[in-house]
Amino acid sequence: MRIASKEESKSIHELKEKLYYAESASNAYKEIDFGLYETNLFYIEALKLQLHHLEKELEQGEL
């Protein structure tokens, strides 16, 4: 495994930050609007997939 560049670390950090806020919003939406809650769950899954893919590429040295 290699060390992430500053840009790669920033991308990972930004994805984790987006994920945090999406999960926080999702919890709020659950009580207010189930449609928004459900839509946000899809967004959260997409963010998790992006993050996983980026971290895996970094581990394999593909970035």
Q: Are 13 and 56 in contact (CB under 8 A)?
A: no
Q: What is the pLDDT of residue 36?
A: 94
Q: What is the pLDDT of residue 22?
A: 96
pLDDT tens per residue, range 35-61: 999 999 999 999 999 999 999 988 887
Q: What is the pLDDT of residue 40?
A: 96
Helices in 1-63 by DSSP H: which ranges? 6-32, 34-60
**Cα 19 to Cα 31, 35, 36, 43, distances in angstroms:** 19, 19, 16, 9
Higher pLDDT: 3 or 5? It is: 5
Which of 55, 20, 54 shows the shortest CA–CA distance to 40? 20
* pTM listed for this prediction: 0.81
Q: What is the pLDDT of residue 3?
A: 66
Q: Is 15 helix (H, G, I), strand (E, B) or coil?
A: helix
Over residues 6-13, the mean pLDDT reads 85
